[in-house]
Chains A and B, each alone.
Chain A
């Protein structure tokens, strides 16, 4: 039997059909501003008096703002696999939310082929496994259209 897939942290994203999902953020009904992650219960826009945030799904597509990779294992609490597998990180700009969101780049992506402005799609992939669960995380993948 396959292990259940569980988000690596609660409340930041949701996995729908295997491999797809949405980021979960906050939206201020007063000013319309978005927040990710939804750190607090109120709006942090200094020009807004909003005292509550709605739970919203963020766009699952955006354009590539920048990217890099990590060739060496980061320190804890990164759950590095043994042997360490290098991974890339992308910063993606969401048009509707007018914000940039980081994520690892989907496994198998050729980062040499990435370029700023590329259309990116949110996916959900395993980050690591415990004895009982597959812990998942959101990642950015080059959009196939």
Chain B
């Protein structure tokens, strides 16, 4: 299959802006088009990530953005895969190009988020695991983050200071990102004073919920070569949207119980390990080839888990890798040069797209103060609840 190239990346800054998600998405889409040097009228396909908390327009986000940008008759798709929605939308647009059904497509994700904890959709639905975990257990997203963090402490001796060091690192990275919501450098002392939300995690260990939007214009290599200086081209080398393999024995949101390992062989890899593995396989590279990575730091502790799941180090060694400075800007493999969710908060359908926007900026050498020197290869990793993997590899 032919190469698919990113021609343009655009974002609406993350924050709590109090406007419709459609406005943010349109801003990001126009920014991506301008970055690509294209007009909306050039686009042959639109793939969008849905939002569940903004009524019907959020469930038909492809049509919503197409209408907002001005109907052009092009086909659209609207994907929902929770936090992985953006990757599924990228995958849909890429497949359209790979199959020859389109030369150029736009991918858009945008959200307007509620204050505080995410809750389930309204109604009385004992058949819905997402409703059940809130009603029966009061198990919020931070509850699961707390369970993972505590397990990391008990298995590997991780400490609250290790988690704080992730926050300190990401807060420094995000200082230089105009799209980040929080641009404030945190010290370990400030973090230690932050209230505990889900032991051992403090408020500042856990990402906020944000408004924001991100968009990408992608095209076939032939189209890209005709429309943009190849020096700016960033190639999409892999998109992984894998699901778990039965039995999934690691507790994932929003489940109350894991699969049972009785009567079934364990899969070769855990679900989280399998997400990046599939991307590496498609790209024909390994973790040693990465220049930088954007990982889904829903919590500080989870960033450390991801180091291991994407193969930057062996299980139990993430704290050492962090303290070696390898994952800090200037280190061997900077992680979350954007500042990560620590500085953005999560805007669910936009997040996986925003991760790719950052890598595109890095690989083009346009990241300014937060530039990863000589970046040629980057990986994003992310997971959406109900079993959605999300990983994208981009290369120069």
Chain A residues near B (Cβ < 8 Å):
8-10, 12, 28, 30-37, 39, 44-48, 65-72, 74-80, 87-89, 91, 96-104, 111, 115-116, 127, 137
Contacts and interface: CB of A to CB of B under 8 A. Distances in A.
Contact of A39 (B127, B137, B199, B264): B127
B132 A9 contact: yes
Interface stretch (B100-108, B138-146, B332-340, B376-384): B138-146
A74 B138 contact: yes
A104 B137 contact: yes
A48 B136 contact: no
28 contacts: A8-B136, A9-B132, A9-B135, A33-B263, A33-B264, A34-B262, A37-B257, A46-B246, A65-B147, A66-B150, A68-B149, A68-B199, A70-B142, A75-B119, A77-B119, A77-B120, A89-B137, A98-B260, A98-B261, A98-B262, A99-B258, A99-B261, A100-B257, A101-B257, A102-B256, A102-B257, A104-B137, A111-B199
Nearest to A43: B263
Interface in B210-257: 245-247, 249, 251, 256-257
Interface residues of B, number: 52
A15 B133 CA distance: 20
Interface in B68-117: 116-117
Contacts, number: 154
B182 interface: no
B365 to A, nearest CB: 42
Contacts of B246: 44-47
A90 to B, nearest CB: 8
Nearest to A76: B119
B141 to A, nearest CB: 10
B154 interface: yes
- The interface centre, meaning the residue of B134, B197, B257 with most chain A CB atoms within 10 A of its CB, is B257
Given A10-B126, A99-B257, A116-B151, A78 B138 contact: yes
B289 to A, nearest CB: 32
From DSSP, what is the main secondary structure of chain A's interface residues? loop
A80 B195 CA distance: 20
A48 B251 contact: no
Interface of B: 116-120, 122, 124, 126-127, 129, 131-140, 142-143, 146-151, 154-155, 195-201, 245-247, 249, 251, 256-265
Nearest to B133: A102
Considering residues A34, A111, A137, which has the most beta carbons from chain B within 10 angstroms of its beta carbon?
Answer: A34
B203 to A, nearest CB: 9
Nearest to A69: B199
Contact of B134 (A74, A88, A97): A74
A28 B120 CA distance: 30
B196 to A, nearest CB: 6
A39 B142 CA distance: 25
A95 B161 CA distance: 33
Contacts of A77: 119-120, 124, 131, 134-135
A51 B254 CA distance: 25
Report, nearest first, the 4 A-B pairs whose CB atoms are least far apart: A68-B146, A31-B263, A75-B119, A98-B261
Nearest to A44: B246
Contacts of B116: 75
A77 B138 CA distance: 8
